[in-house]
A and B are shown apart, each in its own frame.
Chain A
Amino acid sequence: MGVPRGADAGSPTPDEGRRTGVLSGGSPRLALVFLLPALALLLLFLIYPIFSSAIRSTYDAAGDRFVGLDNYVQAFTDPQTLLSLRNTAIWVIVAPAVVTTVGLLFAVLTERIRWATAFRLVVFMPIAISLFASGIIFRLVYDQEPERGLANAITVSVHDAFSSPSLYPGARPRDPATLTPDPSGALVTGRTFGANDVAPLAITGLAPDKLPEGAVQAVQPEPGPGLRGLVWLDVGGGTERVIDPGERGMPGVVLQVLRDNATVATMTTGNDGRYVVPDLPPGDYKIRLAENNFTAPFRGINWFTGTLVTPVIISAWIWIMAGFAMTFIAAGLAAIPRDALEAARVDGATEWQVFRRVTVPLLSPVLLVVFVTLVITVLKIFDLVLVMAPGSVLPEANVLALQMWQVSFGGNDPGLGSALGILLFLLVLPAMIFNIRRFRGDQ
């Protein structure tokens, strides 16, 4: 069996063609002539380097001292290389399984959809794009600034939908003695007020155009029943702590009235910045402008940090490879005998049971081929990590194939680099054996 037979598509006699024929005539010498260019290149560029690297990996960086297996010991003790091995392990464990599952899901979902071809074309498209460009595309998607990165733009709007953003981020008291910031970021009056006092509170540190649309000219409240006052934007340039014409109140400021540090009332300022807290029993009160009036706005998630960077790059890889898995699996799916599925349905199986008990087992050889192919691809992953991880977190996102390049050509240690290359080769060896057995089974 072997190779997925795509290449045989439309070949004149696909079945008889399996048995490789031999024409009468044609000599070994002629075969050699035909084979020579290919064999020479394969020998020089693929086979010789395997042995050359194996030997080179037992020498030190300069290449003149035999060090035995020291480079391999270093590979498993050097923290940076260990980190890249750990990340490669994460990739191998997570990425191929996820992509195979997603591909299976897409293939099954599109099976009976009329516009399946269009859908598959769209999902398959990223495979034509370079990993470099895909990396740029996702650097942009995951950009830290919510004004630039779509992921954070969405994160911020979802976040703000559930907890409304503060109205006056960064605003501060005009006079820190009158209004003192507490550790939480709230502003608390320094002195206390009586139940019927007037407490005007001047705020600054905010551009006037950041005031809500409804804000109107601030008005000093007349004394009267209840603790009353005003929160207004005391613009610099005018007279400080005095309400100049044109200075507006700050609507929507949430303030708490405290007595012995316990909240006894909560109030919100009106459009002119005024507030009244009626019916307070006589006593000494402080006023606290709650911290959520002033907290800095939520700016989204920093995706490119030590813990998040690898999952983020894997997500980009899923976007790239899902189409490959889907196409492959869809081809296998189309070849499943309809009778088997129909028979199960006639026997009263639900769609899920049909999928679980008939479709997946029949597909499992195809799924295995997809999975193994993805594992090989993941082991060699290089460009995507190099492009997506910003320099500062690159060490934490590093993978074996990239570390090999960095050690050899950046760090100038071809000894260790060769050892890592051999390590990589040993990791793909099972896949090589898998392919050869598949191929021989097919012959």
Chain B
Amino acid sequence: MATATETLDPTPDLNTSGTPSRSIATRIAGRLGQGTVQVILIVIAVFWLVPVFGLLISSLRPDTANSSSGWWTALTAPSQLTLENYANLLGESTITSSLINTVLISVPATVLVVLIGALAAYALAWIDFPGRDWVMIGVVGLLVVPIQIALIPIAKFYGATGLFGTITGVVLFHVAFGLPFAVFLLRNYFSGIPRDLLEAARMDGGTEWSIFRRVVLPIGLPAIASLSIFQFLWVWNDLLVALVFADPDSQPITIALRGQLRQFGSNIDILASGSFISIIIPLIVFFSFQRYFVQGVLAGSTK
């Protein structure tokens, strides 16, 4: 097993197509087969895009249109499209404040995980202390701990400390559960930094802290980028943690929208536009940092 994983491409990317050299006969046969494959792939791609497209179009149609006809009718009658749903949505204070809450939760939860995780990862990679390997094994073990197991004990703890229903409480929970992955990913990356580089920094009289800040963090930037994107999306998209620990004042957008679910059929205008607003940021992040994102996913297989 060990050898095979070692063969994993060290620079994973979505673009991993190989171009083997082949005889002319097989190439022609391959070309014919490729036509079929291309058609199949196009159908699959459409299959993957249409549901999201349906959400987008539904979010742009008035409520009356959504309840009387399918979103696909808008393709032939685009005049029914309107931004009204979005205007209504952004006029509602519960929605706007929950959107702000989502940002207020996601950003600190991401920054803190990177900071705390990087400090621990550096110690685990480059400072010798007794039991170091055991700590690392513990971190790997904690990667798969289900959130559910912490809900009741932490709810009790938050109740006792006054953190229940606060944004701080939600953030801390996310940070803690993001840490095993953060430490794991960053420590793997940090341990790849050439020793000479660190030794040289120390020769120059750098303290441990300044080595961390001036050498480790800048070199570790790609891994930090992967981690940040991953953690940010994870927190942004969360429902469960906020469902338990947030109250109406600190609830993120997912919880605010969930309140509209009960009457699904009559609330499509709110749900579709609200959901679309909530996925715009993740989609932008995904498409702009696709490469780092892929690396994070490949590294975080155990999460």
List residues of A whose CB falls within 8 A of some B CB: 1-14, 16-28, 30-32, 34-35, 37-39, 41-42, 44-50, 52-53, 56, 106, 109-114, 116-133, 136-141, 143, 145-150, 153, 319, 324, 327-328, 330-338, 341-342, 345, 362-366, 368-370, 373, 376, 379-380, 382-383, 386-387, 390-391, 401, 404-405, 408-409, 414, 417-418, 420-422, 424-425, 428, 431-432, 435-436, 438-443
CB nearest to A330 among chain B residues:
B16
Cα–Cα, bound, A115→B303 (Å): 30
When chains A and B are docked, how far (Å) is the Cα of A114 from the Cα of B31? 12
Bound-state CA distance A89–B106 (Å) is: 33
B5 part of interface (Cβ distance < 8 Å):
yes
Q: How far is A145 from B70 in the complex, measured between Cα atoms in Å?
A: 9
15 cross-chain CB contacts under 8 A: A1-B5, A7-B295, A14-B10, A17-B193, A34-B212, A37-B116, A42-B142, A119-B45, A136-B55, A140-B268, A331-B9, A405-B148, A421-B149, A435-B143, A435-B144
Return the chain A residue nearest B234 by Cβ: A130
Interchain residue pairs A-B with the least CB separation, the first 8: A6-B298, A17-B192, A130-B237, A45-B176, A11-B192, A7-B299, A128-B286, A38-B120
Give Cα distance in the complex from A151 to B274, angstroms: 22
Bound CA–CA A239/B34 (angstroms): 69
Q: Is the CB of A140 within 8 A of B148?
A: no
| Chain A hits for B37, CB < 8 A | 109, 113
Q: Which of A46, A338, A341 has the most CB of B within 10 A?
A: A46
Question: Which residues on the A side are within 8 Å of B103 (C-beta)?
Answer: none
Return B286 CB to nearest CB of chain A, in Å: 4
C-alpha gap A28/B149 in the complex (Å): 32
Asked if B97 is an interface residue, CB under 8 A from chain A, the answer is no
Binary CB contact string for chain B from 129 to 149 against chain A (1 if under 8 A, 0 otherwise): 110110111111111111111
Contacts of A383 in B (CB 8 A): 239-240
**Across-interface contacts of A122 in B (CB, < 8 A):** 45, 48-49
- B108 at the A/B interface (Cβ < 8 Å)? no
| Closest A residue by C-beta to B137 | A436
Residue-wise interface mask of B (209-230) relative to A, using a CB-CB cutoff of 8 A (1 in contact, 0 not): 0001000000100110010000
Determine whether the beta carbon of B219 is less than 8 Å from that of A421. Answer: no
Partner of B48, one of A125, A431, A442: A125
> Residue-by-residue, is B177-211 near A (CB-CB < 8 Å gives 1, otherwise 0)?
10110011110110111110111001000001000
B101 at the A/B interface (Cβ < 8 Å)?
A: no
Contact of B302 among A41, A42, A338, A373 (CB under 8 A): A373
Is A3's CB under 8 angstroms from B299's CB?
A: yes
Chain A residues with Cβ below 8 Å from B1 are: 1, 365, 368, 438, 441
With A132-B257, A442-B2 as contacts: A401 and B202 at CB distance below 8 Å: no
Q: Mark B110-128, 1 if CB is under 8 A from A, else 0.
A: 0000001101101111111
- Residues from chain B with a CB closer than 8 A to the CB of A441 are 1-2
User: How distant is A278 from chain B, measured CB to nearest CB, in Å?
Assistant: 45
Cβ–Cβ < 8 Å partners of B271 in chain A: 136
A23 partner residues in chain B, CB cutoff 8 A: 126-128, 195, 198-199, 202
Minimum distance in angstroms from A140 CB to a CB of chain B: 6
